Chains A and B, each alone.
Chain A
């Protein structure tokens, strides 16, 4: 006979949820955790040069370090050369100070088992930079396991040798401007989506059922089509020799050699992203508008309100939850959008996500990429919390 509570139903339920938990863990929690850890933790240099870095702890930071530091560095660089991690080490140090890649790599290659006189002379003989304190600063900074330098870099800041924080040199300040541009572009795209989506959603929500279904399908078809297909169709339409330019030329609105640059710039990004994100605006608006009975507008009219007054005072306020939800969705998606600007944005239409992709794929500075990603995520979460606060319990939840 069984006693007490029967746990089997609970266990069965938990068992059924297990695949989902595992899936979320593997595809969502783990990547996020990795990303965060990468943005603050990097052990490549620390693992390769432990002794050198330990000795540098006691260094005054102004003069050139002593012979024992050079000796340790020589041993460890030679070992790194043997173990073929010298390239990685060189890359890490290079991110702290430009030009260090070749210095470290060449030194690693040229060092021999025994010094040419002192180790110090040998190093300076290979590259005079070793005789400067800045080089050792770079090495020491790159050797920190836990570091804030990725986040600093992501907001155009850097740490000076004396430990203070300063702005990045003029020509290397790119991220803040890019963030600002991304926000501005996202905001404008949200505005455009609202401008186009609101009347559309209104029309669909109050059309007779059959027509409403058809229109909704028309809104959703692009939603169902591959993003790539949609984006490339815009290329076909907008490019120099594209449909729109051809028509404009045929109508003699522009001359043949004055064809408009509609793509591979900000215009292209705007057009394609607005199109891609429009359904995310239309759907929440539609669902909110559907819930507003026709009798409300009738009531407003019977109470003496003209169409504009009725709209502004009765209809619009009731659609605000949808406006909020749709705008938030579009804005958040736009901030993180990558593929469309990458394909049609050219060099001027790139957004912050494209920079993340660049650091992931080309420069292989995953720490910086992670820091940029984390900042975007923080912005999005902040926005959502703000929205929750503003919309209160009446807002339509998007998450």
Chain B
């Protein structure tokens, strides 16, 4: 048998559980032992994965991704970018056209879903409507032949974990959407899998409930220390919840990084555009000087921080976050200072959004924090704006995609 991981969930009472990554009935209970979680300990590895459903169009290609043990990794991308496909291949419901998937170092190619020992939360919950909440939770334990007493214990714990005590006898149809989702999460966890997959689990819920459950899932992750691969197309959700985010686009990984890094240091113009708000300027490289390069945008020259390899003449896209734009800069402080005309101002509450025209673009936005002394501009004002070269990232050309 491959390596076994022994882990302990002292915090919530999920005590020692010995799991076999291969998933063959993993319920052997042994002495407690501290779980080892190192950064360099890959739990899941995708290696050169490609997937095509019809033999022509590639749903996923050239996918290399490594998920660390105990990590919360989100797959983020627009609709059709292959997130679900990745998850389904990992869970074993789809077979990769090429490449290998390894869980805990073992290729799972020949392993059917039921032997992978992966907990899965489906977008439509997939609760069994003819069973009570209790029976739904007991199902994975039952098929593993776990005795009645132990079963009841585990079900109770899982229900407590998702704060649904007292709902044992209800049917899924008698629960609200949020409660159903909690049951689905509890069911994916009740048999103590090491790896849990969630495919847009909060997609069907309203905003308030989403935020509540985001927090809950996060809390559960911290409590249990399981590895979670989470699919969402909501960048904010991914930012709030994840240790790392893999941004997918057309079946390829654009960037894998921690949320802050993804926001602060996007490496692709697609990522910059997809994560958070940003102003985009398209131009051609004029000069390159180490990490800094000057880009000709219309008649202006903008200085930026070079992220992609580029030579003079290459088309590039510059990305500037709205909150990094300073109004009325002191002359000479910023390497980029331009004239701007205030188009209109939107009051958002904690901040103001200043829509302006500058550098040949009419849709430039600056965010100004709503504190005394700020926002000393009026619609129609002609002012100076500025930003540093470090806050202006020079990325691959993304202008052909049209939308900003």
Contacts and interface: CB of A to CB of B under 8 A. Distances in A.
B87 to A, nearest CB: 11
A296 interface: yes
Nearest to B129: A318
Contact of B191 (A300, A303, A306): A303
A305 B91 CA distance: 14
Interface in B85-130: 91-93, 112-114, 116-120, 122-124, 126, 128-130
A317 B128 CA distance: 10
A306 B126 contact: no
A303 B130 contact: no
A299 B122 contact: yes
Given A298-B93, A299-B120, A313-B139, A305 B126 contact: no
Which among B114, B118, B123 has the greatest number of chain A C-beta atoms within 10 A? B114
Given A302-B91, A303-B139, A314 B128 contact: yes
Nearest to A297: B126
A295 interface: yes
B130 A302 contact: no
Interface in A312-342: 313-314, 317-318
Given A304-B191, A309-B143, A293 B126 contact: yes
A305 B143 contact: yes
A301 interface: yes
Q: Is the interface of A mostly helix, strand, loop or mixed?
A: helix
B129 A303 contact: no
Interface in A132-167: none
Given A303-B139, A304-B143, A313-B139, A295 B114 contact: no
A281 to B, nearest CB: 21
A61 to B, nearest CB: 64
Contacts of B169: none
Contacts of B124: 293, 295
A305 B119 contact: no
Contacts of A300: 128, 139
A295 B172 CA distance: 15
Contacts of A306: 114, 143
Contacts of A304: 23, 25, 114, 117, 140, 143-144, 191
Interface in B259-314: none
Contacts of B120: 298-299, 302
A296 B114 contact: no
Interface in B23-43: 23, 25
A301 B114 contact: yes
Which among B124, B128, B140 has the greatest number of chain A C-beta atoms within 10 A? B128
A302 B143 contact: no
B249 interface: no
Nearest to A293: B124
Contacts of A303: 114, 139-140, 143, 187, 191
A300 B112 CA distance: 12
Contact of B126 (A295, A309, A313): A295
Which among A293, A295, A309 has the greatest number of chain B C-beta atoms within 10 A? A295
A302 B91 CA distance: 7
Interface string B126-169: 10111000000001100110000000000000000000000000
A298 B113 contact: yes
Which among B91, B112, B122 has the greatest number of chain A C-beta atoms within 10 A? B122
A209 to B, nearest CB: 15
B53 to A, nearest CB: 11
Interface in A246-302: 293, 295-296, 298-302
Contact of A302 (B25, B118, B123, B129): B118
Given A303-B139, A305-B139, A305-B143, A296 B119 contact: no
A85 B143 CA distance: 77
Contacts of B93: 298, 301
A299 B125 CA distance: 9
Which among B25, B120, B123 has the greatest number of chain A C-beta atoms within 10 A? B120
Given A305-B139, A305-B143, A299 B126 contact: yes
Contacts of A313: 139
A306 B112 CA distance: 10
A299 B112 CA distance: 13
B158 to A, nearest CB: 13
A303 B192 CA distance: 11
Contacts of A296: 126, 128
Contact of A317 (B122, B123, B130): B130
A330 B120 CA distance: 40
Contacts of A293: 124, 126
B269 to A, nearest CB: 36
Contacts of B123: 295
A344 to B, nearest CB: 40
A295 B122 contact: yes
Which among A299, A300, A317 has the greatest number of chain B C-beta atoms within 10 A? A299
A283 B112 CA distance: 32
B373 to A, nearest CB: 55
Contact of B122 (A298, A309, A314): A298
A309 B144 CA distance: 11
Contacts of A318: 128-130
Given A295-B122, A309-B143, A313-B139, A302 B113 contact: yes
A315 to B, nearest CB: 10
B83 to A, nearest CB: 16
Given A309-B143, A313-B139, A301 B126 contact: no
Contacts of B143: 303-306, 309
Nearest to A316: B130
B22 to A, nearest CB: 12
Nearest to A295: B126
A306 B24 CA distance: 12
A314 B142 CA distance: 13
Interface string A76-112: 0000000000000000000000000000000000000
Contacts of B191: 303-304
Contacts of B126: 293, 295-296, 298-299
Given A304-B23, A304-B143, A305-B143, 20 more contacts: A295-B123, A295-B126, A298-B91, A298-B113, A298-B122, A298-B126, A299-B120, A299-B126, A301-B93, A301-B112, A302-B113, A303-B139, A304-B114, A304-B117, A304-B140, A304-B144, A305-B114, A305-B139, A306-B143, A318-B130
20 contacts: A295-B123, A298-B113, A298-B120, A298-B126, A299-B122, A299-B128, A301-B92, A302-B91, A302-B113, A302-B188, A304-B25, A304-B117, A304-B191, A305-B114, A305-B140, A305-B143, A306-B114, A309-B143, A318-B128, A318-B129
| Chain A to chain B: the 7 pairs with minimum beta-carbon distance, closest first | A303-B140, A299-B126, A295-B126, A302-B120, A301-B113, A305-B143, A295-B122
